[in-house]
Structure 1
Amino acid sequence: MTDFVLVAGAWLGAWAWDEVAAGLRAAGHGAHPLTLSGLAEKRGLPAGQQTHVQDVVDEVERLGLRDVVLVGHSYSGVPVVQAAERIGDRLRRVVFVDANVPADGESFLSGWPSDHVRRAIAEHDGFLPPLGADGYAGQGLTDEQIARIVDGSTPHPGATLTEPAVLKQSPAGLPATYVKCLLDGEEPPPAVAELLRGEQWELVRLDTGHWPMFSRPRELARILHEAAVGR
């Protein structure tokens, strides 16, 4: 049995993984969806990026997990890759679901035009407001799924997006699977493409949008299972 720690991206909490977690448990794995500080039921807790890194590390230690697959979706690739470095031999693999993968000293907002995001954070007391329903168009989601995401979203702590990652080594050394969701662009970001040239990284393409835990939960659970046990 492999234990999965599942971390959703901006605005979302552990609830986003309900269907994926059910699929993993049905396959005999442990599934541990995690809400990061400042979001969902933890709204109101102060959070910077290192808080989120510690959230992931603390969950692994609190549950006494070994043989762990850390799963980071979107923004959460940033804290997850740092946590992976810190849990040492407890780590089995990292799975990045259409996620950002930072280098040392880079933030989530590094490397792409993000002035509008910084302005939004400044205008909303240090938080990035959630997307409205229009922001999820063209991502393979039903109206019901979009409504569920919008209704469950909470403002995201802005400091977690602007603060730099702290890494001792390149993520290239991590055993990793990168899930590229094709409706959000057919190719991984250039930095990820470079990592995929290494022996430790593999690419899996999924024909859906940026939120596959809602649009394709069964397929995503299968990909996670295969990443853990081998194809």
Structure 2
Amino acid sequence: MAEFVLVAGAWLGAWAWDDVVPELRAAGHGAHPLTLSGLAERRGVPAGQQTHVRDIVDEIERRELRDVVLVGHSYSGIPVGQAAERIGDRLARMVFVDANVPVDGESFVMSWPEGRSIVEASCAAHDGFWAPLTAPDYAGQGLTDEQINRIVTGATPHPGATLTEPAALARPLGGLPATYIKCLLDGAEPAPDAARLLTSDRWRLVEMNTGHWPMFSQPHELSRILLDAAAV
């Protein structure tokens, strides 16, 4: 039995995995969706990127989880990748869902140069928080109007410090087992940092014909891929 720890990307909380968790549990696994500090029901809790890394590590240690499949979506791939190397032999596999990956000494905004000015301007205008996307921003991502409304209604501003604080890795992530899920409606190829890691024989690539938020647009297909990853 695997223990899935699921961490959604910017603006989202544990609720984002509501359509995925039941399928993982029905297959006999543990499933632990996690809300990071400063988001959703934890809004108001001060957070930097290392706070988010500690959130993940603390959850795993508090629950005494082993055989952990650590799942990071979008921004959360950065704290998930750092947490993975810190939990030692508790880790079974990482899964990056159309995610950023951590690079030692680099931040989220450094890994997304074309978006850096957008993120920084939003944080400057919203008291240090990255404002959530609006409904039109989700066009072309394979989402229904109902799914878009669900995301927009549930989203909360994202703590800006988590986006500018650098990652800290003791060693390259290519030595740890991982599955990288590329959502093709959000670009045909993984970003360069992920592509470099995918040259490792411990990493494998899986493609989904949907957009950047597959836990909403294709939860059944995503659940199947997660279950397959746990079986590798």
User: How far 1:192 sits from its partner (Å)?
Assistant: 1.1
Q: Structure 1, residues 61-115: CA drift from partner, whole Å, max 9, x if none?
A: 1111000000000000000000001000000000000000021001011132211
Could you tell me how far 1:47 is from its partner in structure 2?
0.4
Other-structure match for 2:20: 20
SS in 1 for 2:20: helix
Structure 2: distance between partners of 1:22 and 1:116: 36
> How far apart are the structure 1 equivalents of 2:134 and 2:100?
22
Distance 1:6 1:146 in 2: 20
Q: Whole-Å Cα distance in 1 between the matches of residues 210 and 2 of structure 2?
A: 26
The CA distance in 1 between the partners of 2:55 and 2:133, in whole Å, is 24
Match of 1:161 among 149, 160, 163: 163
| 1:67 equivalent in alignment to 2:75 | no
C-alpha RMSD of the superposition: 0.6
* TM-score (norm. length: structure 1): 0.98
Structure 1: where are the runs of 5+ without partners? none
In the alignment, which residue of structure 1 is the partner of 2:219?
A: 217
Equivalent residue of 1:100, what SS?
coil
After the TM superposition, list the runs of 4 or more consecutive aligned residues in structure 1 that deviate by more than 3 angstroms: none
Secondary structure of 1:198's aligned partner: coil
Tell me, what secondary structure is at the counterpart of 1:109?
helix
Cα distance in 2 between the residues matched to 1:17 and 1:132: 20
Return the letter of the residue paired with 1:156.
H
Paired residue secondary structure (1:33): strand
Listed as ranges, the matches of 1:183-194 within 5 Å are 183-194=185-196
> How far has the Cα of 1:119 moved from its partner?
1.3
Partner of 1:45: 45
Contact kept in structure 1, 2:73 and 2:97, CA below 8 Å: yes
Structure 1 residues 92-107: aligned runs within 5 Å: 92-107=92-107
Cα distance, 1:147 vs structure 2: 0.2
Report deviation, 1:189. 0.7
* In 1, Cα distance between equivalents of 2:102 and 2:79: 9
Whole-angstrom CA distance in 1 between matches of 2:24 and 2:43: 27
Distance in 1, matches of 2:214 and 2:157, equals 21
Counterpart mapping for 1:125-136 below 5 A: 125-136=127-138
- CA deviations over 1:104-155 (Å, ceiling 9, x no partner): 0010111322112111111111000000001111000000000000000000
> What number of residue pairs does the alignment pair up?
230
Deviation at 1:52, TM superposition (A): 0.2
Secondary structure of the residue aligned to 1:19 is coil
- Per-residue displacement from partner, 1:32-59 (whole Å, max 9, x unpaired)? 0000000000000000000000000000
Deviations 1:176-206 (A, max 9, x none): 0000000000110112111111111000000
The 2-side partners of 1:131 and 1:191 are apart by: 24
> 1:174 deviation in Å?
1.2
SS of 1:141's partner is coil
**Amino-acid identity (%):** 71
- Distance in 1 (alpha carbons) for counterparts of 2:19 and 2:43: 23
Contact 2:37 2:47 in 1 (8 A): yes
2:122 matched to which residue of 1?
A: 120
**Aligned equivalents of 1:19, 1:120: Cα separation in 2:** 30
SS of residue in 1 equivalent to 2:171: coil
| Alignment partners' CA distance in 2, 1:175 and 1:133 | 36
Q: Which runs of 5+ in 2 are unaligned?
A: none
In the alignment, is the contact (CA less than 8 A) between 2:177 and 2:202 conserved in 1?
A: yes
Distance 1:175 1:166 in 2: 19
Question: Hey, what does 1:175 align to over in structure 2?
Answer: 177
